Structure 1
Amino acid sequence: MGTYLITGATGGIGAAVARLLRERGHDLILTGRSAGRLDELAKELRTGAHAATQLIDTTAPTGPASTRSIRTIQLDLSEPRRIEAALAMDGLPTRLDGLVHAAGVVHLSPVAELEADEWIAHLSVNLVSAAEMTRLLLPALRAAKGHVVFVNSTAGLRANPEWSAYAASKFGLRALADSLRHEERSLRVTTVYPGRTATEMQRSVRAQEGHPYAEDDFAAPATVARVLVGALETPRDAVVSDVTVRPH
C-alpha cells in the first residue's frame, strides 16, 4: 500500500478522494485550514466502512498499524511562504506515492472590480501553493516514482465572464502540470478538470451568481474522486495525463 498527501482534504472532492484511498488501505496525510475538520475526517476514516484492513505490527507498542496511518497537517495555503516551515515542523515524508492537489478558492467578479488582493488570493491558494508543495515534496515523490494529481477545473480550459481571477489561476495550474510532466520523467502527472460539482464551493458560486443551489444538478464529489483514483491506479506502463469530468 502507498502513502498519499491530499491538500484541501476536508473539501468535497478532497474528502471523497481520501475516503476512496483509505478504503483501498493506503496511508494518508491530510492537509487543510481547519484543525477541527481535519480531526473529524481522520476520525471518520479510522473507523467504520472507510477503515483500512487492521494489520497488527508486533514491533510497535501502540497496537494496530491502521490507527497510526492517518496524519493531519493544518496548512493555510493563502500564505505559500509559510508552507515549508509548517511541513518541516510535522516532518516531511521520505517517500510519497502520490500528491493530490484538491485545495482551491473562488470569488466571482468582473475584471473592472477585481482588486490586487483578490488576484493574489486566487493565485496564492490555487497556483503558488501547489507549486511550492510540489517543490518541497519532490524528493519524496522521486523516491517512490510517485504520482502528482492536480484538481483543476473546466475554468482552466475556458474563461467565462466574471471568472477571470479563478480561471487565470487554473490556466496557470495547467501550465505547472504540463511543465512538471516534462521535467520529472520518473513521475506520473495528471490534471483532472471537473465541471460543476456538488460541493460547498459550488454552493458559494451559485449564491454569487444569484441562483439556487440544487445538489442533483451537479456531479457528485464521489464521482470525480472515482475518476481521479482510477488515474492513480492506472498500470505503470501508461498515464492518464488529462481527464475532464462533467455533470451529465
Structure 2
Amino acid sequence: MKALDKQVAVVLGASSGIGRAIALGLAKQGATLCLVGRKLETLQAVSAEAGPVQAHFLQADLALDRDVEGLADRILRDAGRVDILVHSAGVIRLSTVAATAADDLDTHHRVNFRAPFLVTQGLLPELRSRQGQVLFVNSSAGLAARASLAQYAASKHALKAFADSLREEVNPDGVRVVSLFLGRTASPMQAAVHAMEGRTYRPELLMQPEDVAAVATHALTLPRRIEVTDISIRPQLKSY
C-alpha cells in the first residue's frame, strides 16, 4: 500500500513546471489527482504521464474572478473529496515601483494571493473533516524582497501571512499547513524571468521541478504526529 492511497490531491497550477512535478510525485504515492490549470489538454497530458491513476481536470484562470468564484465547489463536485490541497500557480513580472502598472499589481494579487485564499476558504470544511493538508509553493521573495520585485514579493509575503494564520486556525482540527520557499527553479516561469533580466537561461544550474516535488511529497507523507511548517530550498550552486 502506498502512502497516499485513497487520498485525493488537488493541485492548482498543475499544467507545467513545479505544479506538474508535484502532481506526478503525489501520483507515485498513490493519490488520485484533481488537476487545475488554464488548458485542459495540458492537464490531460500530465495525467497521461502520471500513469494508471484516477484524475479529474478543471479548467480555470486564477486571474479571473469568474473562474475563481465557485472553484472550490467545482473541485468538490468533480473530485468528491479533498485530502491534499497544493497551491503552485503563480505569476511574476519584474518592474520597478515607479514603473509598475496598477493592472499588473492587481494580477499579482489575484493569482498569487487572492485565489489561494478563496479556494482554501471554500474547501476548509472539507479539509477539516478529512484532517487534510495544505501546501503553499511560495518563493524566497516571500521572505525577503529586492529591487524590481515589489509587486511579486508583496503578493508572496501576503501568501506567507495567510499560511501562517491559517496554520494556527486549523492545526487544532488536525490539518497540516506547509510552505515551501523556493530559490530559482528550472521552469517556464524562470525562463521568462531570465529573459526579463536579459540573462542567459541555464536551467542545469538551477533546482529542478522534480527536486521540489521530492521535498513536497516527503513533507506530505511524514507521520501525522509532526508538521513541517516552513521549508527554504536553494540551488546548491548559487549561480544567480
Whether the aligned pair in 2 keeps the contact of 1:196 and 1:202 (CA below 8 Å) is yes
TM-score by length of 2: 0.91
Secondary structure in 2 aligned to 1:152? Answer: strand
Residue in 1 that maps onto 2:208: 220
Q: Distance in 2 between matches of 1:182 and 1:150?
A: 15
Distance in 2 separating the partners of 1:178 and 1:40: 34
Counterpart of 2:177 (choices 189, 192, 196) is: 189
SS of match in other structure, 2:69: helix
* Bigger Rg, which one: 1
Alignment partner, residue 56 of structure 2: 71
Q: In the aligned structure 1, how far is the partner of 2:100 from the partner of 2:8?
A: 39
Mapped pair 1:136 → 2:122: yes
Report if the CA contact (8 A) 1:94-1:139 is conserved: no
**Offset of residue 84 of structure 1:** 3.2
Q: Does residue 5 of structure 1 match 2:10?
A: yes
Q: Secondary structure at the match of 1:112?
A: coil
Contact in 2 for aligned 1:92/1:137 (Cα 8 Å)? no
Does the 8 A contact of 1:8 with 1:102 survive in 2?
A: yes
Give the Cα separation in 1 of the matches to 2:56 and 2:126: 16
In structure 1, distance between residues paired with 2:10 and 2:36: 8
Equivalent positions of 1:87-126 (< 5 A) are: 87-89=72-74, 91=77, 93-126=79-112
Percent identity, aligned pairs only, is 40
Provide the aligned C-alpha RMSD in A.
1.4
TM-score of the aligned structures, taking structure 1 as reference length: 0.88
Q: Name the SS for the 1:123 alignment partner.
A: helix
> What is the count of residue pairs matched by the alignment?
228
TM-superposed deviation, 1:42:
1.6
* Superposition map of 1:196-211 within 5 A: 196-211=184-199
Report the residue type matching 1:121 in the other structure. Answer: T
Which residue among 26, 38, 41 is the counterpart of 1:36? 41
- Cα distance between partner residues in 2 of 1:13 and 1:141: 23
C-alpha separation in 2, matches of 1:141 and 1:87: 11
Task: Verify: 1:16 aligned to 2:1, yes or no.
Answer: no
Gaps of 5+ in 2: none
What are the equivalent positions in structure 2 for 1:145-164 lying under 5 Å apart? 145-164=131-150
In the aligned structure 2, how far is the partner of 1:247 from the partner of 1:163? 20
Letter in 2 for 1:201: M
Q: Secondary structure at the match of 2:70?
A: helix
Runs of 4+ residues over 6 Å off in structure 1: none
The question of whether the paired residues in 1 share the 8 Å contact of 2:187 and 2:209 is answered with yes
1:212-243 Cα distance to aligned partner (Å, 9 max, x none): 10111210110011111111011111100000
**In structure 2, what is the equivalent of residue 63 of structure 1?**
none
Contact 1:96/1:143 (CA < 8 Å) preserved in 2? Answer: no
* Residues 230-241 of structure 1 mapped to structure 2, 5 A cutoff: 230-241=218-229
